[in-house]
Structure 1
């Protein structure tokens, strides 16, 4: 197990993924531990993660950009909700400005990570440009997100192979796809469909959103006058912090209100939807879900764009179940049909833990989905390894930044005390289990055991409550349920 491969490249910390999580971790680790070396391994050819992978028309954030951007690097553009390409540009510019891009290795596909308890080091096996590469480090940080980049969710649609037109999944949008003047059917009514349909409607002759059941949607302006006012009145860094805090609090309070008063929430959303659509539109058929607000993630309509396209007749909503697909389109169980030239299957993601990377401890494979998550960023009995997971009900970065700071604090604590390993240990304390994601969304219900487990009480509870997490992190006791120690063999650190 103990690997002295001279070709292995060493760093104190290896970060896997060069998206929001990885870049944020690099900044916080360097800020708190300037003496530690780090390397970022990125499977793709560019910075961005999700914001490089998804390239479908209309790709944008489904939360405001001020809470999605880093607290330490102000968002400079005017919009409150940003397009995918501008988010990726922001990440690239930020990584360049802070020198983080100098630590990245692109086209590096990590396959496995092996922990050696004799030396307290990780050996990471990767493929780079078709050849094998080995990296060694003391610490691992997984900024790999929560879904599979290779396998989106593709349900079985009988007869889809008979369809005469193009069938595309938004996760792999073909750049050369020509849908101008064509009839496009988008299957699904989640965040992807809601941002895709208004963009497609600009060129397509007709766009149909085909949904099994309605989704909650609320409109938000692309440019917020209050945000503009705050940014004009205050210096850039101060205004960024103020707007970030204001947006986070607004979102948290509205979420809390919808959860505590669901009937009021239902009425509020319904009245706003009725106001946004033509008189007499069948709102209760197409926009009245069976579940309560925030049982599933609420979808963000931007500047009423989806409602406007429906009002103009450029987009329509059909609610029903697919029976089969034939050469010319989709036949519903009701007997109705929706003809199409292009079918877009906006059917969702496949959950995946740690980017599908194999984890071994002293030669024994560990299944992370069998383990509990500790303080939302470490995994039970896995040494020197952090995992970044965002919120289901708020911006990813709100928790990603907390995770990065907590990990950086742990590294500093270990350095001061001379520890070479640390891991959370639950022992034989019985603990009630719940899913790490608390949504009734299809991608969660399909794969309830795809992510590490959450308990129902701290420090093993994955909460989706930003305010409580902020308080917890502020008064964190770093030794709680943790095991610290020193390696049997201390190797000299490479210069």
Structure 2
């Protein structure tokens, strides 16, 4: 049986995949397009995670798509609302029928002779292997393992008589009413879970090895609410989007340029929010702001749960689990009926697929990222990897626009293949996320592609990226273009990947 063929295949039907598909389908309505999604629903992260309080930690004016305004007074949206937003966008842009569900991508092999990808997937509902070919592939599968999170083994955990839950596998309809809960971790998930569980649980304790920076942010956009009374809501949305992008960027740049001053600012902010009765040792990180992401607390809900006494915080190391809780290295015991291991993500790039060039697997850590959107030596391949210091989807929007500009340029010059080539030895041997040091990234540095100078630098700078991806010439001397005639003159020829 002949494998179905598409001009473009997008891997993943989450925010990145649907957003990118909207750009491509809008600019090239006659091109065939398929979206391959491993799960049975759209939404990606926002369909997978169902723990209490799940929400964005970026404002929705800038986290939502620029072409699909998020009309809501709420600043940080709930996971359910984001999931519905993704599905609504797919329906509005006529993409819902282009999604093939249950498709777990195993490998993708580029044929230089045929100038096409052959994608091998396992259809999870049936277990059968399916093959699809395409001209251009865009990977929007995220950066972590959807099967499981990072879950270290704790000494003695088998003796614990309560329930141990990782947020990534939250049980449906789990009732924790009246239970004593210990949440292990201090990142965004823990900061979300603690106040969300505090009202129903008997007591919630956040156990951290080291503190994080936590910023209280308004849960409603009162400025936009006021402007909506006198201005068209589309204008108000655009103003809010630009305002929030500039504010986020300003805080990040200030943290990079004046780390000591910004550290004092954040510590002062937390001191005011937490009140006089909490030891600031629990809120004094040992790293500078934005070396890890800031944690957001809508209307200070996390601080409020501490001040009310419904939750508390402990800074210590775990010695072992006992049958009724956790014994710390200090000798203190935290009694628990439920232990939530908010210990982070297990990084997995490209959805775990094996990328091959003419049958040879590509070693991603030996390759550089080109303009933050393509991979060195890999032809007709886009990779949407969002920002770590700003809303993820800002990169998705401009990444989708760049891919459309690339397709148009290829049409203009009659090229069927585009491949970034490093002709000048730009590889600096530096990981693409060096300098960003949360635990899940630190554990995965050996998996990360590299970066270098010029278009090989991963900037994490929205302003610079926007100019580079949406304004600068596509044909920059780094991209190598090929035609069908090139393939015929050198059948099977390829720049082999190490």
Taking structure 1 as the reference length, the TM-score comes to 0.95
Counterpart of 1:426 in structure 2 is 422
Counterpart of 1:88 in structure 2 is 83
CA deviations on 1:9-44 (whole Å, 9 max, x unpaired) are 111000000001111111111222222111100000
Over the aligned positions, Cα root-mean-square deviation in angstroms equals 1.4
Instruction: Give structure 2 stretches of 5+ with no counterpart.
Output: 490-498
Determine the C-alpha separation between the residues in 2 that align with 1:259 and 1:467. 16
Determine the C-alpha separation between the residues in 2 that align with 1:134 and 1:238. 46
Shift of 1:76: 2.0
Determine the C-alpha separation between the residues in 1 that align with 2:469 and 2:426. 24
Pick from 461, 464, 474 the counterpart of residue 457 of structure 2: 461
Determine the C-alpha separation between the residues in 1 that align with 2:406 and 2:135. 13
Mapped contact 2:428–2:450 kept (Cα < 8 A): no
Determine the C-alpha separation between the residues in 2 that align with 1:280 and 1:346. 26
CA deviations on 1:215-260 (whole Å, 9 max, x unpaired) are 0010001102112223333323332222111110111011112222
Determine the C-alpha separation between the residues in 2 that align with 1:32 and 1:461. 28
Shift of 1:452: 1.7
Mapped contact 2:401–2:470 kept (Cα < 8 A): no
CA deviations on 1:254-286 (whole Å, 9 max, x unpaired) are 111222222221222222222222323212x10
Counterpart of 2:395 in structure 1 is 399
Counterpart of 1:287 in structure 2 is 283
SS in 2 for 1:459: helix
Taking structure 2 as the reference length, the TM-score comes to 0.94
1:109 aligns with 2:110: no
Determine the C-alpha separation between the residues in 2 that align with 1:233 and 1:372. 49
SS in 2 for 1:161: helix
Counterpart of 1:493 in structure 2 is none
Query: Where in structure 2 are the equivalents of 1:175-194 lying within 5 Å?
Result: 175-194=172-191
1:174 aligns with 2:171: yes
1:353 aligns with 2:374: no
Mapped contact 2:431–2:451 kept (Cα < 8 A): yes
Shift of 1:187: 0.2
Mapped contact 2:347–2:441 kept (Cα < 8 A): yes
Pick from 312, 315, 327 the counterpart of residue 316 of structure 1: 312
Determine the C-alpha separation between the residues in 2 that align with 1:337 and 1:174. 26
Shift of 1:433: 2.5
Determine the C-alpha separation between the residues in 1 that align with 2:426 and 2:365. 17
Pick from 364, 382, 386 the counterpart of residue 390 of structure 1: 386
Instruction: Decide which moves more: 83-92 or 221-230.
Output: 221-230
Pick from 361, 364, 386 the counterpart of residue 365 of structure 1: 361
SS in 2 for 1:140: strand
User: Size of the alignment, in residue pairs?
Assistant: 483
Determine the C-alpha separation between the residues in 1 that align with 2:119 and 2:314. 49
Pick from 136, 142, 145 the counterpart of residue 145 of structure 1: 142
Shift of 1:428: 5.4
Counterpart of 2:251 in structure 1 is 254
CA deviations on 1:283-338 (whole Å, 9 max, x unpaired) are 2x100111111111111011111111101110000000001111111111111111
Determine the C-alpha separation between the residues in 2 that align with 1:50 and 1:260. 33
Determine the C-alpha separation between the residues in 2 that align with 1:91 and 1:429. 41
1:230 aligns with 2:212: no
Mapped contact 2:73–2:222 kept (Cα < 8 A): no
Shift of 1:147: 1.0
Shift of 1:463: 0.9
SS in 2 for 1:232: coil
Counterpart of 1:479 in structure 2 is 475
Shift of 1:489: 5.5
1:273 aligns with 2:252: no
Question: Runs ≥4 in structure 1, deviation > 4 angstroms?
Answer: none
Shift of 1:375: 0.4
CA deviations on 1:424-448 (whole Å, 9 max, x unpaired) are 0003514312222231111111111
Shift of 1:368: 2.0
1:215 aligns with 2:212: yes
SS in 2 for 1:449: helix
CA deviations on 1:386-415 (whole Å, 9 max, x unpaired) are 001011100001111111111111111112
Mapped contact 1:220–1:303 kept (Cα < 8 A): yes
SS in 1 for 2:120: strand
